[in-house]
Amino acid sequence: MTQATETTLYELIGGMPTIERIVHRFYQGVVTDEVLKPMYNPDYLADGSAEKRLTLFLAQYWGGPTIYSEARGHPRLRMRHAPYAITPTARERWLKHFRVGLDEVALAPELDAQFWGYVQHAAEFLVNTDEPA
């Protein structure tokens, strides 16, 4: 099988509509979160652009269209998160809301495990600040 005919996780989970639903649900949690919400530019929460960036990033990551990089360039996630104090608490909260988003779409267990494993790993990698004493 050539790479072009391999089925991507993006396709297996139902493509853009599924990722949009996960991320939409995730952001509904973020705006209720007193640790996370202040980190986000309110304009980008209100106009949906933060939601769009995460959606397009994840779509691209899982083998969907490369719109994210066409618009934003290389993801460089660690660098792009440097302005935010990502403590272990922030990571746990981010993941908690993401888990709700994933639950909403109820993927097949092996697909859920793959998606969830990746975001847990990525969130761990983005921690850049110790817990305040």
Applying CB under 6 A, the residues found at the interface with ligand HEM are: 36, 39-41, 44, 50, 53-54, 57, 72, 77, 80-81, 84, 86, 90-91, 94, 119, 122-123, 126
Q: How far is the CB of 114 from ligand HEM (least distance, A)?
A: 13
Q: How far is the CB of 70 from ligand HEM (least distance, A)?
A: 12
Q: Are 44 and 50 in contact (CB under 8 A)?
A: yes
Q: Give whichever of 15 and 61 is closer to ligand HEM, judged by the CB atom.
A: 61
Q: Give whichever of 1 and 19 is closer to ligand HEM, judged by the CB atom.
A: 19
User: Which amino acid is residue 10, in one-letter code?
Assistant: Y
Contacts of 128 (CB under 8 A, 6+ apart): 78, 81, 82, 84, 85, 86
56 — phi, psi (to 5°)? -70, -35
Q: Give whichever of 12 and 120 is closer to ligand HEM, judged by the CB atom.
A: 120
Q: How far is the CB of 130 from ligand HEM (least distance, A)?
A: 14
Q: Are 30 and 97 in contact (CB under 8 A)?
A: yes
Q: Give whichever of 17 and 41 is closer to ligand HEM, judged by the CB atom.
A: 41
Q: How far is the CB of 80 from ligand HEM (least distance, A)?
A: 4
Q: Token pair for residue 54?
A: 């995460």
Q: Token pair for residue 79?
A: 């660098």
Q: Are 55 and 19 in contact (CB under 8 A)?
A: yes
